[in-house]
């Protein structure tokens, strides 16, 4: 049996995903079911959610259901909160522990963070340090892990040049900071809004920020690298027109990292990278649940979440939260994210 030390309601408020559609896939409800302690499997915990970070995958999954989730369901995969019940096989957590991490993208058993209570797998959660806020901790899941996943696959040292298109995005602003932490010699990024450019320069101390709405990105990167091109480009924009440009900035033998499912064999991106005589690297945290990395989810995810938290404590990593919204405001916040109106960094939902 699972622990039942805290009083747990049977229903809750939630943003439910009710249909596979790019338009209006969600409905607000105040009567979604709460998974009860007796329903938890061995490795699951029930979390009372304090903060949730939004990601493009939240609306992308609703539009395609790439994980074949049974509907109705709840999306939202970045969570920070308090454990209120544990499965009988859970050894690392106790009721009352504050935890953060990311939820199973393929779970139909109470998964999804955009509700008051969520079910998480213990392997993808870690204890939250007391001196980190729930809001900051919630950002250290999909976006931070995606940035880490791409950059862990390449070597970065004091001789490395790296270009990160979209440095004002959720993944981008983490990738910029990770490159700094790992000691890259030259970091080039891009943004299109004055606010984003200012933040990148003043708060994250990036000297070379290209305004991709006004400047020729390829020409500027080549100019900044004395026509050599960069050792690494990490394109987390999801925009194919950006891919075409960022691939051209990579020197022969360098690495082009792409976020998500792009870059599959015989894809336009793969062909362009081959033409550039560079190496293609894919960063995709969904493979932790749906692919070959599943067996290593505990080591890869927990180690990187702990590292992110430690960097925050040390002042090396600073998540940028552009806005904090309430749960009932999430539908509008996701639409803004979809339309590119969410602002710099991350949008966080505060539940408590």
Domain identity same for 242 and 309: no
pTM of the model: 0.94
Q: Which two tokens stand for residue 99?
A: 């935890």
pLDDT band, very low/low/confident/very high, at 110 (cuts 50, 70, 90)? low
Q: How many CA atoms lie within 13 A of 26 on its CB side?
A: 25
CA distance 126 to 119: 14
312 and 241 inside one domain? no
Mean pLDDT of 47-51: 97
Q: Are residues 150 and 279 in the same domain?
A: yes
CB of 345 within 8 A of CB of 168? yes
Residue 288 lies in a domain: no
Is residue 289, in this structure, part of any structural domain at all?
no
pLDDT of residue 106: 62
Query: Is 161 a domain residue?
Result: yes
Q: Are residues 135 and 153 in the same domain?
A: no
How distant, in Å, are the alpha carbons of 34, 186, 291 from that of 260? 31, 25, 13
- Banded model confidence at residue 286, pLDDT cuts 50, 70, 90: confident
Q: Say if residue 186 is in the same domain as residue 129.
A: no
Of 283, 318, 339, the last residue of a domain is 283
Are 170 and 195 contained in the same domain?
Answer: yes
273 shares its domain with 298: no
| Residues 42 and 59 both lie in one domain | yes
pLDDT at 3: 42
* CATH classification of the domain holding 177: 3.40.50.720
Look up residue 122 and give its two tokens. Answer: 């213990």
User: Which pLDDT score, from 0 to 100, does residue 328 have?
Assistant: 94
Q: Are residues 247 and 313 in the same domain?
A: no
Say how many C-beta atoms besides its own lie within 10 A of residue 247's C-beta: 23
pLDDT at 188 over 90: yes
Q: Same domain, yes or no, for 197 and 262?
A: yes
Whether pLDDT at 8 is above 60 = yes
Mean pLDDT value of segment 165-188: 97
Per-residue b or e along 228-245, where b marks 16 or more CB atoms closer than 10 Å to that residue's CB: ebbbbbbbbbbeeebbeb
Strands (DSSP E) along 37-137, which ranges?
44-53, 73-74, 78-86, 98-102, 117-121, 125-127
Report, as an integer, the average pLDDT of 146-171: 96
Give yes or no for residue 292 having a pLDDT over 90.
Answer: no
Cα separation, 28 vs 330, in Å, equals: 9
Least confident of 10-14, 131-135, 148-152, 286-290: 286-290
d(CA 92, CA 180): 32
Distance CA 50, CA 138 (A): 9
Residue 109: the pLDDT is 62
Domain residue limits at 304: 11-139+294-350
Same domain, residue pair 151 and 276: yes
Closest to 297 (Cα-Cα) out of 305, 308, 289 = 289
C-alpha closest to that of 174 among 212, 208, 203, 148: 148
**What are phi and psi for residue 72, nearest 5 degrees?**
-70, 150
Q: Which contiguous run of DSSP H or E holds residue 121? A: strand 117-121
What average pLDDT does the segment 100-129 reach? Answer: 87
In a domain, 2, yes or no: no
Number of structural domains found in the chain? 2
Mean pLDDT for 301-322 is: 97
Q: What does DSSP say about strands 98-102 and 125-127: parallel, antiparallel, or unpaired?
A: antiparallel
For residue 97, what are the contacts with CB-CB under 8 A and spacing of at least 6?
Answer: 82, 83, 127
């Amino acid at each position: 049996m699972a622990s039942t030390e805290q009083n747990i309601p049977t229903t809750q408020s939630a943003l439910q995903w009710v249909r596979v559609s790019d338009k209006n896939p969600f409905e607000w409800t105040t009567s979604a079911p709460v998974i009860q302690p007796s329903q938890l499997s061995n490795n699951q915990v029930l979390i009372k959610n304090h903060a949730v970070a939004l990601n493009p995958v939240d609306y992308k999954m609703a539009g395609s259901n790439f994980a074949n989730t049974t509907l109705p369901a709840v999306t939202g995969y970045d969570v920070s909160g308090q454990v209120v019940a544990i499965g009988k096989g859970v050894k690392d957590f106790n009721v009352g522990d504050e935890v953060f991490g990311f939820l199973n993208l393929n779970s139909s058993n109470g998964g999804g963070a955009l509700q008051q209570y969520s079910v998480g797998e213990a392997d993808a959660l870690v204890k939250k340090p007391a001196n980190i806020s729930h809001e900051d901790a919630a950002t250290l899941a999909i976006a931070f892990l995606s940035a880490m996943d791409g950059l862990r696959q390449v070597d970065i040292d004091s001789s490395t040049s790296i270009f990160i298109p979209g440095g004002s995005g959720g993944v981008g602003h983490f990738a910029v900071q990770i490159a700094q932490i790992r000691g890259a010699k030259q970091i080039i990024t891009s943004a299109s809004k004055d606010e984003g450019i200012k933040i990148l320069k003043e708060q994250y101390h990036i000297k070379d920020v290209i305004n991709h709405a006004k400047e020729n990105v390829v020409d500027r990167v080549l100019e900044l690298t004395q026509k050599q091109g960069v050792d690494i480009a990490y394109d987390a924009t999801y925009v194919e027109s950006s891919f075409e440009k960022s691939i051209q900035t990579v020197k022969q033998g360098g690495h082009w990292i792409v976020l998500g499912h792009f870059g599959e064999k015989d894809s336009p991106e793969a062909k362009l990278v081959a033409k550039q005589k560079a190496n293609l690297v894919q960063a995709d945290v969904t493979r932790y649940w749906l692919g070959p990395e599943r067996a290593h989810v505990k080591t890869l995810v927990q180690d990187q979440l702990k590292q992110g938290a430690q960097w925050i404590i040390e002042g090396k990593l600073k998540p940028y939260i552009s806005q904090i919204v309430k749960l009932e405001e999430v539908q509008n916040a996701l639409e803004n994210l979809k339309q590119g109106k969410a602002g710099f960094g991350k949008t966080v939902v505060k539940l408590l």
